[in-house]
């Protein structure tokens, strides 16, 4: 599932649960942890979503504090297109929803930015979910990075469809693509 360029520096992986997996990549000046997530859908109640974020918190706490951390995947949340502090940029899609408010609050608590809302991308590089009948298109997949590394991100976008390989890409100054 990894490109040869990404597989080469792979130091290991850790499947935390059926919703969270962590990989560690050798990079300079610090190793990079890439955390892939799949948050509960709207079919699940808020307590399950809160449990997901608690598990994600525990995962972050177990990683080396010096490592760069990139969290990406399907958060099943809409953060919208309005800037929210330093966490969300103005290049998202649509309106924020309750799960989006939970995600933004979690990002603010952990000093993370939603990287793909800070870059102007074509709408096809924003939405990753289409409603039956193609009535609605929502952005629910995101790339999060620690605020202190925000300027190292050169590009972040998502690719619609389950068959597109990587759903989210994030290009930083120290890597070609993650």
Cβ atoms 75, 99 nearer than 8 A: yes
Q: At what angle do helices 46-61 and 98-109 cross, to 10 degrees?
A: 20
- Of 28, 13, 20, the C-alpha closest to 71 is 20
More confident residue, 37 or 2: 37
The tens digit of pLDDT for each residue in 2-21 reads 678 768 888 889 999 999 99
More confident residue, 8 or 98: 98
Tell whether the model's pLDDT for residue 132 goes beyond 80. no
pTM: 0.82
| Fold topology of 4-172 | Deoxyribonuclease I; Chain A (3.60.10)
The tens digit of pLDDT for each residue in 41-63 reads 889 999 999 999 999 999 999 99
Question: Alpha carbon of 160 to those of 43, 70, 100, 150: distances in Å?
Answer: 21, 20, 19, 24
- Of 63, 59, 57, 71, the C-alpha closest to 109 is 57
pLDDT of residue 101: 96
pLDDT of residue 166: 42
The tens digit of pLDDT for each residue in 147-170 reads 999 888 888 877 765 554 444 555
Cβ atoms 27, 9 nearer than 8 A: yes
pLDDT of residue 164: 43
Question: Alpha carbon of 110 to those of 2, 58, 61, 148, 160: distances in Å?
Answer: 27, 12, 11, 11, 27
d(CA 61, CA 84): 25
């Amino acid at each position: 599932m990894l490109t040869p360029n990404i597989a080469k520096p792979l130091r290991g992986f850790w499947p935390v649960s059926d919703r969270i997996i962590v990989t560690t990549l050798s990079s300079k000046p610090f190793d990079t942890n890439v955390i892939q997530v799949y948050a509960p859908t709207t079919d699940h109640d808020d307590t399950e979503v809160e449990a997901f974020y608690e598990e994600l918190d525990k995962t972050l706490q177990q990683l080396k504090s010096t490592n760069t951390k990139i969290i990406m995947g399907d958060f099943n949340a809409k953060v919208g297109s309005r800037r929210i502090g330093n966490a969300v940029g103005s290049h998202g899609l649509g309106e924020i929803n309750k799960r989006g408010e939970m995600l933004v609050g979690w990002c603010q608590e952990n000093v993370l930015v939603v990287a793909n809302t800070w870059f102007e991308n074509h709408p096809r590089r924003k939405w990753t979910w289409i409603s039956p009948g193609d009535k609605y298109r929502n952005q629910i997949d995101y790339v999060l990075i620690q605020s202190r590394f925000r300027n190292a991100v050169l590009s972040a976008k998502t690719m619609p469809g389950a068959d597109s390989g990587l759903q989210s890409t994030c290009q930083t100054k120290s890597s070609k693509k993650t």
